Amino acid sequence: MLKQKNWPTTLAYILAIIVFLAVSVYTVMYATGYRVDFGTWSIEKTGVLAVTTKPSGATVKIDDKPYSRKTPFTLRNMLPGTYTLTLELEGYRPYTKPIEVVSNRVTEEHNIDLVLNDVVSDLVADNVAALITLTNGGVYFGTDKKFYEVGKTDPLKFDNLPVAIQTILSSTTSIFLANKHDQSNNWVLGVVANGRRWLVIVEPSGYRGQAFQAPLTSVKPEDIYWIDADRLAFVVGRAVYGLDLTSNKLITYHQNATGVTYTQNALYFVQRSAQGVYELWRDANIFDAKPAELAITNLPVGQDYEVLITPEKDTLVMPINRGVKGIWIMRDKEETFTKLDSNIGQVIYDYLNEIVFYRMGTELKQYVLKDPARTLKISGTVHTFDTAPLLLGKRNESLFWQIGSEIFMSDLTVDNLYLIANITNKTLFLDESSQIVWTLGGNVLEKIIIRKNSTNLFGRLPGIWWGENYQAPSKAAG
């Protein structure tokens, strides 16, 4: 039997053991991803929050609680729930949005584009008559009717090109079209020379150069599809043409097609069958004289179409009837279309997040194509504007908008909307990245810097953007 005078010591031992066991259990729970929610006194499986920004080095606050670590930032063992994320970086506008942490899952807020407090505008050139390309340093057509690389004073020379092409380019008085292959240095130029319109395809620093007249001089820049550096497809009205530069062969591929797009290594187009059914056709090689294959029959009825095929083989068709555009989707391995909406505006597909964004009046709407088990929001209205905007495009994790003459930049949820430029009497050009935009007006080309490069290891090394992910707007952008 214990003596009474030893009871306090014994109780102390028991309490110490209980505390030790409780701490041990809690430590094991915490290490394996569990926490006690003391608000509900329940055991919860935790989640992880990962945040990266461009530039990096931003201070992180969660529900106004600051953390010493800066972006790139990872916080583990978070209880499931809704929080407010705030990012702050000296010289940049604050970024705030609600986030939802889910148990046993990483909530990623990646590559958030921070915007300078004072967006900087730099004069690039003041003698620009037409902009040809912004890639690889940029090229423009000057007011003196010569071609220049951005930042250089000596005009380009085309000494290696065929004499006939040199003559056209040296006689050019205006540019009405410019298109460039993404990887090579091949250009497609619509020029007026000696009073005649020409479509010129050149490799400016090489030996290749060919010139064409009607009907190719009626093509629009967005209706030129580079199959590869040597082959192109052109859409003029409802006619589709193919051009093989290696054999100098121009073919009339189809004379009555709509909804034409080249994507996922194939040409897609819509045509009406003899039975009055609208069908989607696919051709992986328009030059081999073999017939296209029928991809989908019984499309929603339209006078015209826009088509978008995702890498996951989901098919979106946008039939247009009397100027009103709808949007329908057929998921991979399904056999019927589901209507998402009607009377929509621009459409953009986010390849990274597998989301279709589209404007409907004053609303930005989305449809998430990921497996529903792996996503929080399947579809719905993301944001409502006071005035109907134009959705200009997506770059990285940012959307660009035009409202009146003002240009705005936002995150994908439009929780943060920043005014970046006024383009009264100017034309806007989006860059390949979300770092800058370009404006041209009154022969003046300006570069508007939205954010600067990071200087630390996790932001940017020379010539490399960590996490940079260029996303061009789809041909269905309208």
- Residue 165 scores a pLDDT above 60: yes
Q: At 200, list the tokens.
A: 């010129």
Helix extents (H) in 97-256: 163-170
How many C-beta atoms lie closer than 10 Å to residue 215's C-beta? 14
Average pLDDT, stretch 14-31?
53
pLDDT, position 376: 45
On whether the CB atoms of residues 234 and 251 are closer than 8 A, the answer is no
Residue 85 CA to residue 96 CA, distance in Å, equals: 6
Residue 203 neighbours by CB under 8 Å, 6+ apart: 184, 185, 186, 187, 209
Residue 84 neighbours by CB under 8 Å, 6+ apart: 62, 63, 64, 96, 97, 98, 99
- Residue 95 scores a pLDDT above 50: yes
What is the C-alpha radius of gyration for the chain, rounded to an integer number of angstroms?
29
Percent of the residues in the chain that have a pLDDT greater than 90, as a whole number: 67
Whole-Å CA distances, 412 to 351, 383, 391, 399, 409: 13, 10, 12, 6, 10
pLDDT, position 478: 31
Q: What is the pLDDT of residues 102-139, one digit of tens each?
A: 888 888 898 999 999 999 899 999 999 999 988 877 89
- Which domains does the chain possess? 46-113 (2.60.40.1120)
- Residue 1 scores a pLDDT above 50: no
Dihedral through CA 68, CA 73, CA 76, CA 78, nearest 10? 80
Percent of the residues in the chain that have a pLDDT greater than 70, as a whole number: 84
The conformation of residue 92, written as its DSSP 8-state character, comes to B
* Torsion angles phi and psi, residue 53, rounded to 5: -135, 160
The sheet carrying 436-441 orders its strands as 120-125, 444-449, 436-441, 427-430
Tell me the one-letter amino acid at 95: Y
Q: Which of 223, 195, 222, 165 is nearest to 393 (CA)?
A: 222
Q: What is the pLDDT of residues 54-90, one digit of tens each?
A: 999 999 999 989 998 899 999 988 888 899 999 999 9
Strand (E) or helix (H) holding 28: helix 7-31
Residue 395 CA to residue 469 CA, distance in Å, equals: 8
pLDDT, position 476: 34
Q: Which of 334, 339, 333, 335 is nearest to 319 (CA)?
A: 339
Q: Which residue has the tokens 């030996």?
A: 207
Q: What is the pTM of this model?
A: 0.83
pLDDT, position 28: 45
On whether the CB atoms of residues 42 and 80 are closer than 8 A, the answer is no
* Torsion angles phi and psi, residue 333, rounded to 5: 70, 5
Weakest mean pLDDT among 5-14, 87-96, 119-128, 146-155? 5-14
Residue 64 CA to residue 205 CA, distance in Å, equals: 56
On whether the CB atoms of residues 314 and 330 are closer than 8 A, the answer is yes
- Residue 18 scores a pLDDT above 80: no
- Residue 13 scores a pLDDT above 80: no
- Residue 20 scores a pLDDT above 80: no
Q: At 419, list the tokens.
A: 């005014």
Q: Work out the pLDDT band at 40, boundaries 50, 70, 90.
A: low
On whether the CB atoms of residues 376 and 390 are closer than 8 A, the answer is no
* Torsion angles phi and psi, residue 130, rounded to 5: -155, 140
How many C-beta atoms lie closer than 10 Å to residue 50's C-beta? 15
Average pLDDT, stretch 324-351?
91
Mean pLDDT score across all residues of the chain: 86
Q: Work out the pLDDT band at 353, boundaries 50, 70, 90.
A: confident
pLDDT, position 33: 55
pLDDT, position 378: 57
Whole-Å CA distances, 361 to 275, 303, 390: 35, 22, 10
Q: What is the pLDDT of residues 418-472, one digit of tens each?
A: 999 999 999 999 998 899 999 999 999 999 999 987 654 443 333 322 222 222 2
